[in-house]
Amino acid sequence: MGMIGGGTGSFIGDVHRKAVAIDGMIELVCGAFSSSAEKSIASGKALLLPEERCYGTYAEMILKEAALPEEERMDFVAIVTPNHMHFEPAKMALEHGFHVVCDKPITLTLEEALALKKVVEQSGKRFALTHNYTGNSLVKQARAMVAKGDLGTIRKVQIQYLQGWLSTAVETTNNKQAAWRVDPKRSGIGGALGDIGTHAENLMEYITGLKIEELAADLGRFGDGRILDDDGNLLLRLENGAKGTLSISQIALGEENNLAIKVYGTKGSLEWHQENPNKLTTHWLDEPMKVYTPNGNGLYPECLQVSRIPAGHPEGYLEAFATIYKNFANHLLADLNGEIIENPDYPTAADGLRGVQFIYAAVASDNNNAAWTKM
């Protein structure tokens, strides 16, 4: 794996590195960790990489790695830059024969997302988007329960992804994470929408297997001078007639990383909270509430195969993240071995496109006073 972005001090670059390390399937072999060659090299050294594989630019990395013998060069790139720096490196990597793992949202604009999806298809390379929350074992259980019909027909969903860290003007206090997220040039047309809204949208569609048909979005820009949304309340209509709400915020003071979902069907319902991910609560027409835990009783294989440690030993954010990488790595291995994996279980460019469509639909709806907008 070669990394683009994620230099020393980066939050998400470190997360990717820790996550891939857990399962021992992937090794970081090179990187262009910063647009400054100097910083990139310093970061690479701190990561114990050989200096010759700490590149000054992603372009340099892609070209030089492509020139290495096959068994030496990186197998794929991981792109962990702000949104405006996803498309070009991803395209270039794919076109030079490298698989790609990319942070969400997939690109800065809808045009880019459409274009990148095509590039992926034409390249024949694998592409994974790190919607990491779908890597939780109990999210797999939830998805399996819906898919097998345990919950009956889905009627109502509630999704929220609430944070409070932008409650004050932290973007003016030398907080790099905040600065680029409130900047349309680096984030795109969505603020919270892109940063966390796409996770919420993706998680909901992943668990329910249902697509959002149309949405009505009322966005907030509560922080002084903010151009992008830092809050949003959405009504959802799903393809099967189900309805729901999706609420996001980065000014929900006190909320840390409160991604949560409830799904109500005609036979059962379920509830999952990211902040306590080792618990899946379910209700049933004629039975008491049942609570599932990773590696506990009553789970489907889709869930069991994801847990790494026995029941009662909590897995968290990094482990879920790692599962995305593990499934991606297994796909690459299968390709190498000439095996076919029917439905490789990690988010793809198609999911990424939906995410950007979600951002665009929500912004369009908001611009139109929360009118219903097709996604």
Size of interface with a copy of itself, in residues (CB under 8 A): 84
Residues 294-333, mask of contacts with a copy of itself (x by CB under 8 A): --xxx---------xxxxxxxxxxxx--------------
Among 39, 64, 96, 156, binds a copy of itself (CB under 8 A): 156
Which of 247, 300, 330, 335 is the binder for a copy of itself (CB under 8 A)?
Answer: 247
Cβ distance to a copy of itself smaller for residue 123 or 141: 141
What CA–CA distance (Å, rounded) separates 356 from 65?
30
> Whole-number minimum distance, CB 205 to a copy of itself, in Å?
17
Q: Is the dihedral of CA 358, 361, 364, 366 positive or negative?
A: negative
Q: How far is the CB of 197 from a copy of itself (least distance, A)?
A: 14
What phi and psi values does residue 167 have, to the nearest 5 degrees? -60, -35
372 in contact with a copy of itself (CB under 8 A):
yes
Residues 108-147 interacting with a copy of itself (rule: CB under 8 A): none
- Determine contact, residues 104/198, Cβ cutoff 8 Å: yes
**Residues 186 and 82: beta-carbon distance below 8 Å:** yes
Which of 63, 68, 291, 341 is close enough to bind a copy of itself by CB under 8 A? 291
Residue 163 or 208: the one with the smaller Cβ distance to a copy of itself is 163
Structural contact between residues 349 and 127, judged by C-beta atoms closer than 8 angstroms: yes
Q: Which of 282, 307, 327, 373 lies at the binding interface for a copy of itself (CB under 8 A)?
A: 282
The span of 185-193, 253-261, 323-331, 338-346 binding a copy of itself (CB under 8 A) equals 253-261
Closest CA to 11 of 128, 179, 173, 127: 179
Contact map string, positions 161 to 200, toward a copy of itself, x by CB under 8 A: --xxx-xx--------------------------------
* Residues 211-230: x where in contact with a copy of itself by CB under 8 A, - otherwise, as a string: -----x-x-x-x--------
Confirm or reject binding of residue 149 to a copy of itself (CB under 8 A).
no
From 292, 282, 326, select the one nearest 308 (Cα to Cα). Answer: 326
Are the C-beta atoms of residues 135 and 191 closer than 8 Å to each other?
A: no
Binding residue for a copy of itself (CB under 8 A) from 33, 87, 127, 264? 264
Q: Which two tokens stand for residue 325?
A: 């990488």
90 binds a copy of itself (CB under 8 A): no
Phi-psi region of 8 (alpha: psi -120 to 50; beta: other; left: phi over 0): beta
Does 286 interact with a copy of itself (rule: CB under 8 A)? yes
160: contact with a copy of itself by CB under 8 A: yes
Residue 277 in the binding site for a copy of itself (CB under 8 A)? yes
Distance CA 201, CA 312 (A): 29
By beta-carbon proximity to a copy of itself, the closer residue of 47 and 113 is 47
Please report, as a single letter, which amino acid is at residue 345: D
80: burial class by Cβ within 10 Å (0-12, 13-18, 19+)? buried
Minimum separation from the CB atom of position 331 to a copy of itself (A): 19
Q: What whole-number distance in Å separates Cα of residue 57 and Cα of residue 34? A: 7
SS3 271: strand
Look up residue 373 and give its amino acid.
T
Q: Which of 22, 115, 169, 304 binds a copy of itself (CB under 8 A)?
A: 22
β-strand 258-265 against 243-249: which pairing, if any?
A: unpaired
Q: How far is the CB of 132 from a copy of itself (least distance, A)?
A: 10
Q: Please report whether residue 269 would count as binding a copy of itself according to CB under 8 A.
A: yes
168-184 per-residue burial string, b: 16 or more CB within 10 A, e: under 16: eebbeeeeeebebbbbe
Residues 93-112 that bind a copy of itself (CB under 8 A): none
Q: Which stretch binds a copy of itself (CB under 8 A): 29-37, 116-124, 203-211, 248-256?
A: 248-256
Q: Do 53 and 29 contact (CB within 8 A), yes or no?
A: yes
